């Protein structure tokens, strides 16, 4: 194989590898946040964008968006965590396209915690306004997502993890 052909093959492979590494650097590495990221990627990627999960489902241009194109969570702050859990349980805020209870139980809590922590990192703010990362994530009630109070908290779960 000539040097030119080798460059044609290797350069794109290197770019893809670099993109994969950069995506993994944004994502949580372990525990419930990782589980939330995986579930978000599996269940929400078709309609929502969030770099920490490696998803690109939101429309780039609102004028050409399809009806099921959800918010870009890189640009939209989603705090407190109870707001995210409400959207998961109720099919978003309009109830038009997002299925209700797309994840349930502790899975819903994991997704809500993940979205609350990582959403809004690229959101623009007006002078004097707090950035998304400066706003508190909040806490969840003891009987979260219809779970029995004994099932609500896992050893790795802490709603007080900040952003």
What residue spans define the domains of the chain? 30-146
* pLDDT tens for each residue of 28-86: 667 889 999 999 999 999 889 999 999 998 877 777 777 678 888 999 999 999 999 99
pLDDT recorded at residue 26: 59
DSSP secondary structure letters along 77-142: ---SHHHHHHHHHHTTTT-SSSPTTSS-HHHHHHHHHHHHHHTTTT----TTPPPGGGS------T
| Chain centre to alpha carbon of residue 156 | 18
pLDDT at 87 over 70: yes
CB 80 within 8 A of CB 48: no
Question: Domain 30-146 sits in which CATH superfamily?
Answer: Cytochrome c-like domain (1.10.760.10)
Closest alpha carbon to 69 in 96, 107, 39: 96
Task: Name the percent of the chain lying above pLDDT 90.
Answer: 44
Distance CA 61, CA 49 (A): 13
CB 155 within 8 A of CB 30: no
CB 80 within 8 A of CB 138: yes
Q: Which residue has the tokens 């241009």?
A: 61
Length of the chain as a residue count: 163
For the chain, the average pLDDT equals 76
> H or E stretch including 23?
helix 3-26
Task: Name the percent of the chain lying above pLDDT 70.
Answer: 69
pLDDT recorded at residue 105: 94
């Amino acid at each position: 194989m000539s040097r030119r052909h080798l460059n044609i093959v290797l350069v794109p492979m290197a770019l893809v590898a670099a993109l994969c590494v950069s995506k993994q650097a944004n994502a949580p590495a372990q525990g419930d946040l990782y589980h939330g990221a995986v579930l978000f990627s599996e269940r929400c990627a078709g309609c929502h964008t969030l770099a920490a999960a490696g998803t690109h489902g939101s429309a780039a241009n609102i004028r050409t968006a399809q009806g099921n194109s959800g918010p870009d969570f890189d640009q939209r702050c989603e705090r407190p965590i109870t707001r995210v859990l409400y959207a998961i349980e109720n099919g978003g805020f309009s109830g038009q396209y997002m299925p209700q209870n797309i994840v349930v139980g502790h899975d819903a809590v994991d997704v809500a915690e993940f979205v609350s922590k990582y959403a809004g990192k690229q959101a623009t703010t007006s002078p004097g306004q707090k950035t998304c990362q400066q706003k508190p994530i909040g806490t969840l009630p003891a009987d979260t997502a219809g779970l029995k109070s004994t099932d609500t908290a896992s050893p790795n779960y802490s709603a007080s993890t900040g952003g």
